[in-house]
Each structure stands twice: as structure tokens, then as C-alpha cells.
Structure 1
Amino acid sequence: MSLLLQITDTAKKLADTVTNLSKAGGTAGDELHFGDLLIKGGVIMIPIALLAILGLVIFFERYFTIRKASKNENNLMMQVRSSVMSGNLQSAIAICKNSNTPLGRMLQKGLLRIGRPIKDIEGAIENIGKLEVAKLEKNIGILGIIAGIAPMFGFLGTIYGVIKIFYDIAQSGNLSIGVISGGLYVKMVTAAAGLFVGMVAYICYHVLNMMVDKVILSLETDAIEFIDLLEEPSK
């Protein structure tokens, strides 16, 4: 009886050992890295990846450009005001030229028009302002295009994955998870990647537009202050 108990106990221990080894082996073998998952998306992942890289390059380039243009220009306005009030227009023009900022270029154009009617000065400043805003908005529209195209590539990958599933079934004549898994990977990975890239591009597009709107408001405020400064002597 004791021998039977020992055999039973030993068999139980062996069974537990085999079960634990199987679990460990399955976990190690079934581990799927993020890079491997992306590769399973197939060739459709190439244009999605290119769109993601292009979007990031445009976002960071525009972000730092707009951020530089949106820096506080109170010091510039104070220097220009001081030079204009003292009648030293050349000094004010030099200050604006050396600033190398959108506001500096706007004020410089206005200073060069002093002596003409205020309407002409306002028109010159407004035209320069439009050019500066156009420079800030350069390539931002591409992010909007990426936001629309990337999910389309994801949908294209979904169609390609479904076609692959039916093709693999037709070739093998077997309807099993192993046969259809390749197409399912393509279908799901490309759809997820396309949506993700599209959402990120959409967010980046609106973030940059909000930054540009903030710069426009600041430029308009400073331009009004500059026109008021020019009108002060005539009051």
C-alpha cells in the first residue's frame, strides 16, 4: 500500500513537472516582439511607415519654427517705441532688421513707409504679415493629408489580408487557424497601424494650427500697437 502511494506521488510530481515545463516552453516560444508584429503586417506597412516618418519630420520642423516665431517680443516693441519717440527711425529700422523675426520684418516694412498715409502703412504691414503667416503654415497641410491617407492604407491592408486568407485556404484546402493566421495578422496590424498614424497626424495638424493662430493674434496685437504709436504725434 505504501509502495502504491509512493508511485502515485511520484507520478503526480512528474506530471506537475511536465506541465510546468510545457508552460515555460510555450511562453518562451509564443513571445511576440513589437517589431515582429509590425513585420507581420506585410508590404502595406511600408507606405504607412513612410507616412509616419514624414509626419514626424514635418511636425518637429514646424513646431520649432513656430515656437521660435512665437517668442515674446515685448523687448523689441519697447526698443522700437523708444527709437520712434526720439525720432531716430534708422535705429528703429536697424533693431527690427537685426531681430530677424516675423514681427521685426513687419515693423521694418512699416517704418520704411513712414511719411505716407497711415492706410498705406497698414496695408504694407498687413501684406508682410500674410507672407509671414504663409511661411509658418508651410507643409502643415501635408499633416492633414497624412491624417486622411494613413487610415486608407490600413483599410487597403484589411482588404489585402482578407484576400490572403481566402488564397491560403484555396491553396492548402484546409480551414485551420494556422492557415488563416497570416492573413489575419496582415488585416489587423495594418488597420491598427493606419489608424494610429492617422490619429497622431490629425493631432499634430491641429496642434500646429493652434500655435499658428496664437502667433497671428500676437502679430495683429503688436501691429495695432505700432500703428497707434505712429498716430500719437498727430493727436
Structure 2
Amino acid sequence: MAAQDQGLMTNAFKKMAGITNDKCRFCHTELESVSHLVSSCKILLGDGYYTARHDGVCKYINWNICKKLNIQCSSKSWNINLKEQLYTIHYDHVIPTATYLENAALKCGIIVIWNKSERVATLVEISIPNDGGLYRAESEKQTKHQGLMYDMKRNWNLNEISIIPVIGATGNLKSYLTNYPGEPRAKKIQTIALKGIRRILKRALGWFQ
């Protein structure tokens, strides 16, 4: 709650009391607010904190979809017999394309749900921005993969392909979850994301073990 209310003792907060400068203690270039630490610091990004939080949400949604579609869930991909499955799930795989796609994502950090009989595919794109960036992140995710979607539709011989983003889990959640098989629980996604945020803030405030 203190983090959502911007009430933690970040450098920006201390600056108001004249204690220190307001620059981020990691990147030393941007204003150190809770929002910056949670989603915008390039040093924390490089150290893998944002990636670990993102992957935790992805793994839960992937597991939930596989359970709903009766797809064997295993940490060892070679143990899964995809030939007998109606659906194929590609999670965190590079998507091969027939053409070069400039500035387009080939590995979406996403889940691709491919219905072979109906020739329909759905891209599940995960993003965990700060609450203030929800609509910007939604717009980016909707446009980022247009080239990839066109290439997949043509080369996979699909009748339809769509993208459904999971946007924001730091407090607000712009939810598309009812469109997913299994309908993953919003509270579970938020819990996973908030645990990742707690780890980031512990690291930033100097008492992370």
C-alpha cells in the first residue's frame, strides 16, 4: 500500500526533506520514484528483476491454459507428445518467420495457442507496466506484433489470428482474462507480480537478502 501511495523512502521522497539528491541510486540519471524503480530503471532491467517478475506471470498463465486444454504440463519439453494434441502451445519460443521483420518481435515472451483443427491462433502477450502506463502499454502490444501476426497467418495457413494482452498487474489490471482458456485468476496474477515488485523494492531500499 505504501508503494502504491508513493510513500516509500525513495531518493525523490528524501529530496523534499533536503536529505539527498533525487536521482536513482542505480542508474543515476532518472528521478528515483516508486514508479521508476518498479518499471523503468535500466539497471534493474539489466539485472533481471523485471524479467523474473514477467516470467512468473507467464508461467502461471501457461500452466493454467495447458490444464484447461488437457495438455500435458512438464518442465521437460521432450516429454510432451504434441502430435496427438488438438492444440499446440508455444511458450517462450522464437517464432520462425518466412520474411525479415524489422523492429518486430519474433520471441514475444508470449504464449501462442494454436488450434490445429480450426486453424486459429491466439498470441497471449504479457506486460507489467506501472499503473500510469496501462493504456500506452496496451497500444504498444497491439501494434508491436502486427508483422508477426500477418506472417504467421500466411505461413501457418490460419483462418484467424488475434492477440490478447495481459496489461498491468501492479495494482490495476486491464483484464482480458475471460478470453483465455481456463480464465486465469486476476488475483493470482496480481499476487505473482506484487511479489516481484516486493523483491525489487527490497533490493532498492537496501535490505534485500
- TM-score, L = length of structure 2: 0.24
- TM-score, L = length of structure 1: 0.22
* Bigger-Rg structure (1/2): 1
Query: Structure 1 or 2: larger strand share?
Result: 2
Query: Structure 1 or 2: larger helix share?
Result: 1
